[in-house]
Amino acid sequence: MERRQFIKTGLAGAAAASTMSLATPAIAQDIRQWKMVTAWPKNLPGPGVAAQMLADRITALSGGRIEVKLFAAGELVPGNGVFDAVSEGTAELYHAVPAYWGSKSKGILMFGSQPFGLRADEQVGWLTHGGGQELYDEMYGRFNLKPFLCGNSGPQWQGWFKNEINSVEDLKGLKFRTTGLASEMCAKLGMAVQAMGGRDMFQALQSGALDAGEFIGPWSDSALGFHQVAKNYYWPGVGEPSSAEECAVNANVYSELPDDLKAAVSLACESLYNPVWTEYTTKHALALKKLVDDEGVQVKKLPNDIIEAMGTAAEEVISDLREDDDELVKRIAESFVAYRDSVGRYMVYADNGQMNARASVLKY
Instruction: Tell me how many degrees the CA angle 303-304-310 measures, rounded to the nearest 5.
Output: 95
Residues, the chain = 364
Q: From CA 202, how far away is CA 124, in angstroms rounded? A: 32
334 annotated as a binding-site residue: no
215 annotated as a binding-site residue: yes
33 annotated as a binding-site residue: no
The phi and psi torsions of 247 (rounded to 5 degrees) equal -120, 135
Q: Are 72 and 226 in contact (CB under 8 A)?
A: no
Strands (E) across 141-269 are located at: 145-152, 159-161, 175-177, 192-194, 212-213, 232-235, 244-250
Give the three-state DSSP class for 94: strand
52 annotated as a binding-site residue: no
Pairing of strands 93-96, 159-161: unpaired
Picking from 128, 104, 120, the residue whose alpha carbon sits closest to that of residue 112 is 120
Give the three-state DSSP class for 105: coil
198: left (phi over 0), alpha (psi -120 to 50) or beta: alpha
270 annotated as a binding-site residue: no
Half-sphere exposure (Cβ direction) of 99: Cα atoms closer than 13 Å? 28
Could you list the residues known to form a binding site, using ranges.
Answer: 156, 177, 214-215, 240
Could you list the residues known to form a binding site for substrate, using ranges.
Answer: 156, 177, 214, 240
Could you list the residues known to form a binding site for Na(+), using ranges.
Answer: 215
